[in-house]
Amino acid sequence: MASCIGPVRAVLVAACCLAAVACGGGGGSGGSGTPPPPPPTNNVVSVIVDEGPTSQSVNTLFTSVTVCVPGSTASCQTIDHIQVDTGSYGLRLLGPVLTVTLPVETLASGNSLVQCAQFVDGFSWGPVALADVQIAGETAKSVPVQVIGDSRFTTVPAACSGTGTAEDTVASFGANGILGIGPFELDCGNCDTVTHGLYFACATATTCTDTTVPNAMQVPNPVTHFAADNNGSMIDLPAVAAGGAVTLSGSLIFGIDTQSNNKSGTQTVLTVDGAGELAITYNGQTLANSFIDSGSNGIYFADSSIATCTTTLTSFYCPGNTLTLGLSIQGQNGVMVNNLTFGVGNAQTMLNAHPTFNAFPELAGTLPAGNAGTFDYGLAFFYGKRVAVAVEGNKTSVGTGPYIAF
Q: Which of 64, 88, 146, 224 binds another protein (CB under 8 A)?
A: 88
Choices 53-61, 240-248, 330-338, 383-391; region in contact with another protein by CB under 8 A: 53-61
- In the list 120, 305, 320, 321, the residue contacting another protein (rule: CB under 8 A) is 120
Angle at 112 between CA 108 and CA 117, to 5 degrees: 115
CB of 285 to another protein, least distance (A): 12
Q: How far is the CB of 339 from another protein (least distance, A)?
A: 26
Q: Does the protein bind another protein through residue 406 (CB under 8 A)?
A: no
**Residue 292 and residue 193: Cα distance in Å, rounded?**
29
Among 141, 323, 367, 385, binds another protein (CB under 8 A): 367
Q: Residue 86 CB, nearest distance to another protein (Å)?
A: 9
Count interface residues toward another protein (CB under 8 A): 63
Q: Does 163 bind another protein (CB under 8 A)?
A: yes
Q: Is 71 in the site for another protein (CB under 8 A)?
A: no
User: Toward another protein, which CB reaches closer, 101 or 314?
Assistant: 314
Give residue 26's identity as a one-letter amino acid code: G
Q: Which of 14, 74, 108, 158 binds another protein (CB under 8 A)?
A: 158
Q: With respect to another protein, which residue has the nearer C-beta, 111 or 297?
A: 297
Task: Label each residue of the chain as H, E or C.
Answer: CHHHHCCCCHHHHHHHHHHHHHCCCCCCCCCCCCCCCCCCCCCEEEEEECCCCCCCCCCCEEEEEEEECCCCCCCEEEEEEEEEECCCEEEEEEHHHCCCCCCECECCCCCEEEEEEEECCEEEEEEEEEEEEEECCEEEEEEEEEEECCCCCCCCCHHHHCCCCECCCHHHHCCCEEEEECCCCECCCCCCCCCCCCEEEEEECCEEEECCCCHHHCCECHHHHCCCCCCEEEEECCCCCCCCECCEEEEEEECCCCCCCCCCCCCCEEECCCCCCEEEEECCEEEEEEEECCCCCCEECCCCCCCECCCCCCCEECCCCCEEEEEEEECCCCCEEEEEEEEECCHHHHHHHCCCCCECCCCEECCCHHHCCCCEECHHHHCCCEEEEECCCCECCCCECCEEEC
Task: Using the minimum distance from each CB to another protein, give the nearer residue, 80 or 210.
Answer: 210
For another protein, the closer of residues 25 and 345 by Cβ is 345
Beta carbons of 212 and 199 less than 8 angstroms apart: yes
- Asked if 195 is part of the footprint of another protein (rule: CB under 8 A), the reply reads yes
Q: Does 52 bind another protein (CB under 8 A)?
A: no
| Binder of another protein out of 149, 157, 378, 399 (CB under 8 A) | 378
Task: Pick the stretch among 6-14, 94-102, 114-122, 145-153 that binds another protein (CB under 8 A).
Answer: 114-122
Among 282, 291, 342, 383, contact with another protein (rule: CB under 8 A): 291
Q: Which of 182, 250, 319, 399 binds another protein (CB under 8 A)?
A: 182
Please report, as residue ranges, which positions from 346 to 365 form the binding site for another protein (by CB under 8 A): 363, 365
Q: Is 212 in the site for another protein (CB under 8 A)?
A: no
Least spacing, CB of residue 376 vs another protein, in Å: 6
101 binds another protein (CB under 8 A): no
Q: Phi and psi at residue 243, in whole multiples of 5°?
A: -75, -15
Q: Which of 288, 337 has the CB closer to another protein?
A: 288
Cα dihedral value 227, 98, 357, 350, nearest 10: -100
Verify binding: residue 259, another protein, rule CB under 8 A: no
Which residue ranges make up the site for another protein (CB under 8 A)? 56, 58, 60, 85, 87-89, 117-122, 158-159, 161-165, 167, 172, 174, 180, 182, 184, 187-189, 194-198, 274-277, 289, 291, 293, 295-298, 300, 312-316, 363, 365-372, 374, 376, 378
